Chain A
Amino acid sequence: MTRAAEAWMRGAGPVAVLKVLDQRPMYGYELAEALDAQSGGVLALGHSTLYPLLYKLERQGLIAQSESRLESGRTRKYYTTTATGKERLRQHELEWSGLVEAMGKLGLT
């Protein structure tokens, strides 16, 4: 991945996480898989970046986590977008669609 591509991804990562979590609460692995699958592999951004990203989003109050105990006795952490997270997502969506539209007008579809 080029430096530029990396920069794009850094910008897209949080939005993508918020977007995916906006559908329903997910646990870490599930989220990683969903990002991978739903972005057609484009956003398979190396899962090593996922947890730091999740922690960061949680600290910013954009996502929240809760725990549930599985049949096996193991606990599993679920992440979900908060109201602030939803609002941020909405802003980003507007920005993205504006950007995509602008790019489209430039012929970059």
Chain B
Amino acid sequence: MSPLPSDLLALIEQVVSSAGLDKSAGDEVRRDLTDYFADGLAAGRTAEELIARFGPPGEAARRFRKGVRPPERERRVIPTGASRLEALARDVRSALRRIAKTPVTSLAVIVVLALGVGTSVVVYSIVNVMLLEPLPVEEPGSLVDVWPDIPGGNSFLGISWSDYRTYRESGILDELAAFSGVVASWGDEADGSSIRATLATPSYLNMLGITPALGSVTFPAEAPFGDVAGVVVTHDFWRASLGGADDVIGSTVRIGGHAMPVIGVSQPGFTGHFIGFPTEAFLPVSAAPLFISDFDAADRTQKFFEMIGRAPENRSAADLQVALNGVAAQIEADFPEINRGHRLGVTPTTGVDHSLYTGVVVFAVILSTLSLLVLVIACLNVGGILLVRGLSRDREVAIRLALGAGRGTLIRQMMAESFVLVSIGTLAGALLASQANAWLSGWMLALSDGQIGFVIDIDGRVLALTIASAVLAALVASGAPALHLLRKDPATALQARSASGRSSTRTRSVLVVGQVAVSVVLTVAAGLFGRTLLVGAQLDPGFDADGVSSFVLDLDPDRVDEADRWTVTTSIVQAVENLPGIRGAAWSTSPPLEVARTPTDLVVPGVDPPPGLDRHVVDSRRAGPGYFAAAGLTLLQGRDLSTGDAQGSPTAVVNRAFLDRFGPSVQVGSTVEVDGVPVTVVGVAGNARYLLQDETPDPLMVLSSDQLPVRARVIYSAEEGYDVSTLSGAVQAAVLAAVPSHPRIAPRTARTRLLDALLPQRAAALLVGAMGVMAVVLAGIGLYGLIQFTVTRDLPELGVRVALGAERADLMRVVLSRGAWLVLVGIGAGLGLSLLTARGLTALLPGVSPFDPITYASVLAVFTAIALLASWFPAARAARTHPTEALRES
């Protein structure tokens, strides 16, 4: 720029100096006047003309002296030559300034995004851990689970040691390991802490390629049963319970009351190959006799083991299954009594039990979909908020466009602001997620009595994916308003402000309707899971689930001599029964509500077995005298198990369903053959829910027995007027009186067990419920924002209405009805969508219809309330409007 002619410069200096301005104000004036004269010269005026038109310089100086000073201004210069990086830094700084200027809106965007992103990260972390992340073992792809495929049978039943040896020696798999989970006391038995351990063949850790963090992870091969070479603890357990000391190798620990040396610490991150059920220590399979009562390696009826193998290259699971079943057929032929119909299933190792895998996948898909919906709602919401924010800048943008700012620059600046906001929101979401993951892990652990332990780490990939989708979605959402503004011509933007407000209201309305619809779908899903829980918790098991409790009596040979087991158990049961407030007590092999079945071979004279089988298979359990009285089960005919039954020939009480199945051939006094032994039926009990999974009761036999397991359950019920849970202390004392070294007992009522068995539903209800609540909150925020926006925009109209005599109630009605319409459309769409998709949830909703009217009605009520609430405040504000105030706002 060429300098001004000296006479003009002199004029400027004269004004500045005689005005007596300070430096910055003087500079400002100098600059403005310089620009002014430069523009004049550029327009073709001469310096003389400009001086003449300027008028007396004293006039300007006088005014400045009178206090008319140039305002201090923020320097905002649109860069042209600056480097991109500088421009970016400037954009970010200016974005931060703008964000700080609208704290409420900015906070809303951050909170909404944090909720949406946080939910997604938690859910995808879980799905990632459960299904996507490879197991932390060597070449997980070629591992296979090998499991007994028992017709109509029990997936919890395993393989006998001898059968395992036969399969292993067949050489069909490159390697085959056997293992069995045990829970044993840890350290000093009296303090009641326990450890989850895995008995495993030496090949187990070896095949999985587990390396030692300390010491060795190799058990001596072929150690004789009863020998315990030592224990390998997991890295987690070493850190948490052994203090993480380096000198742990060679030190002695007590597991199940047995002292054994620690020989190694396994590599970090490995807690067995089952996801969600971490093991804390590995014991050589030779330790089995110390943990499994009456263990006999040669007894093929003792099916305690599970198998995992390494497939040879290029052999599919199906292929291997065929080959292994050749061996299975041979085992069946050699031991027909024990292994009738014995076949194996082979599936790729997933870290999830094969019987649960499909369910887990279905649930993961549902959960992912729902969390995606939450993210979508959050993004719609952010889009809505940013749209309004963008519109309030409508004018500013128009001016800047008129001044020649590039559209690209404006878009970049708007995007920078959105980007900064979204980044903060996403970061908050990630922090929220890591906190939520910790809560969730702790909750699962507490709920499952320490058995289910998820380490839900936020996987980098999950985080990257979620952030990318959130940023993309939010930028698209904020980009739309930016483009919407930039499309228009500056002049019309300046003049036609209200029209643009109207068209954007349409956009926002669509966003809100979409949000409400998606929220309704989520809330319906959450409601259905919640209903399942309620139905499950209120379910009548056929006996007083709140009044019956049970605990495990652990009569380890170290504690009570095997020969005394019967006497000790009987005396404890007797002592418990004699306690005030106790109606009855008895021992049994299973608690009243049992998850696992015990399939038992049965021959009923006169009733043909199902086609293809030469005997019936029913569920059974063994129990001591007075079992039915203790469990509060009704006897329909005959008598309860009695003291004499154990000594004499075996007896059984069957349930009503048993009688229904076998008809007139079985009645009190009949004899059936159970596992080859004749058993007399002495009583018939009413149907009760013995098995949690059962919707309709299956036939069940409760057999008398003279054999007590090492860990029997003692079942007891409270008399009328007593709360069974308050009797625990007295029961504990009775147990300790008989066996002073007995660990602390943990009695649980049948109701507690019932709730625990609903763990998947509870977890689902919690997760989906949390998402449902979030969806409702987000939809509420969205609706509130929209109504608030329209009220602000329509304030003049409302003012006119007031001026024309409208009552407050009328105004409220006008505003409320606007919100109501949107919500109605959204709810309608959401309910329709729910009805279309709910059928997919059927499998996860035992006892509740996916079209449960109560759930749908509740959701309708909740959303109507939300709509009223969200519209109420803006409506109330509108109703308070004074006409003049409203008109001035325009």
Chain A residues within 8 Å of B, Cβ to Cβ: 24-25, 27-30, 32-33, 36, 44-49, 51-53, 55-56, 58-59, 64-69, 72-78, 80, 83, 87
**Neighbouring A residues of B43 by C-beta, 8 Å:** 29, 33
Query: Do residues B491 and A68 form an inter-chain contact, with CB atoms below 8 A?
Result: no
18 A-B pairs, CB-CB below 8 angstroms? A27-B35, A28-B39, A29-B39, A29-B40, A29-B43, A30-B39, A45-B55, A48-B54, A48-B60, A51-B33, A52-B60, A53-B63, A53-B68, A68-B404, A68-B405, A72-B1, A74-B35, A80-B399
Least Cβ distance of A55 to chain B in Å? 5
**Neighbouring A residues of B69 by C-beta, 8 Å:** 55
**Neighbouring B residues of A78 by C-beta, 8 Å:** 399, 402-403
Query: Do residues A66 and B403 form an inter-chain contact, with CB atoms below 8 A?
Result: yes
Interface residues of B in 22-58 (CB under 8 A from A): 29, 32-33, 35-40, 43, 53-57
Q: How far is the CA of A8 from the CA of B375 in the complex (A)?
A: 63
Least CB separation from B890: chain A residue? A87
**Neighbouring B residues of A49 by C-beta, 8 Å:** 55, 59-60, 63
Query: Do residues B35 and A32 form an inter-chain contact, with CB atoms below 8 A?
Result: no
Of the candidates A47, A53, A67, A73, the one whose C-beta lies within 8 Å of that of B55 is A47
Query: Do residues A69 and B77 form an inter-chain contact, with CB atoms below 8 A?
Result: yes
Q: How far is the CA of A29 from the CA of B78 in the complex (A)?
A: 21
**Neighbouring A residues of B38 by C-beta, 8 Å:** 74
Query: Do residues B35 and A55 form an inter-chain contact, with CB atoms below 8 A?
Result: no
Least Cβ distance of A67 to chain B in Å? 6
Using C-beta atoms within 8 Å of the partner chain, give the interface range for chain B: 35 or more
Query: Do residues A77 and B68 form an inter-chain contact, with CB atoms below 8 A?
Result: no
Chain B residues within 8 Å of A, Cβ to Cβ: 1, 15, 29, 32-33, 35-40, 43, 53-57, 59-60, 63-64, 68-71, 73, 75-81, 395, 399-400, 402-405, 491, 888
Least Cβ distance of A38 to chain B in Å? 15
Query: Do residues B76 and A67 form an inter-chain contact, with CB atoms below 8 A?
Result: yes
Q: How far is the CA of A16 from the CA of B405 in the complex (A)?
A: 27
Query: Do residues B55 and A77 form an inter-chain contact, with CB atoms below 8 A?
Result: no
Of the candidates A25, A44, A69, A77, the one whose C-beta lies within 8 Å of that of B35 is A77
Query: Do residues A52 and B64 form an inter-chain contact, with CB atoms below 8 A?
Result: yes
Give the most central of B57, B59, B75: most A CB within 10 Å.
B59
Least CB separation from B39: chain A residue? A29
**Neighbouring B residues of A76 by C-beta, 8 Å:** 35, 39
Least Cβ distance of B405 to chain A in Å? 6
Q: How far is the CA of A48 from the CA of B50 in the complex (A)?
A: 11
Of the candidates B1, B33, B399, B402, the one whose C-beta lies within 8 Å of that of A74 is B1
**Neighbouring A residues of B405 by C-beta, 8 Å:** 68
Q: How far is the CA of A100 from the CA of B592 in the complex (A)?
A: 99
Of the candidates A58, A73, A77, the one whose C-beta lies within 8 Å of that of B1 is A73
Query: Do residues A47 and B36 form an inter-chain contact, with CB atoms below 8 A?
Result: yes
Least Cβ distance of A4 to chain B in Å? 18
Query: Do residues B403 and A68 form an inter-chain contact, with CB atoms below 8 A?
Result: yes
Query: Do residues A67 and B68 form an inter-chain contact, with CB atoms below 8 A?
Result: no
Q: How far is the CA of A49 from the CA of B62 in the complex (A)?
A: 10
Least Cβ distance of A52 to chain B in Å? 4
Q: How far is the CA of A54 from the CA of B60 in the complex (A)?
A: 12
**Neighbouring B residues of A36 by C-beta, 8 Å:** 53
Q: How far is the CA of A76 from the CA of B78 in the complex (A)?
A: 11
**Neighbouring A residues of B35 by C-beta, 8 Å:** 27-29, 74-77
Least CB separation from A58: chain B residue? B71
**Neighbouring B residues of A58 by C-beta, 8 Å:** 71
**Neighbouring B residues of A87 by C-beta, 8 Å:** 888
Least Cβ distance of B561 to chain A in Å? 95
The answer to whether A56 and B55 touch (CB under 8 A), given A51-B29, A65-B73, A66-B399, is no
Query: Do residues B80 and A69 form an inter-chain contact, with CB atoms below 8 A?
Result: yes
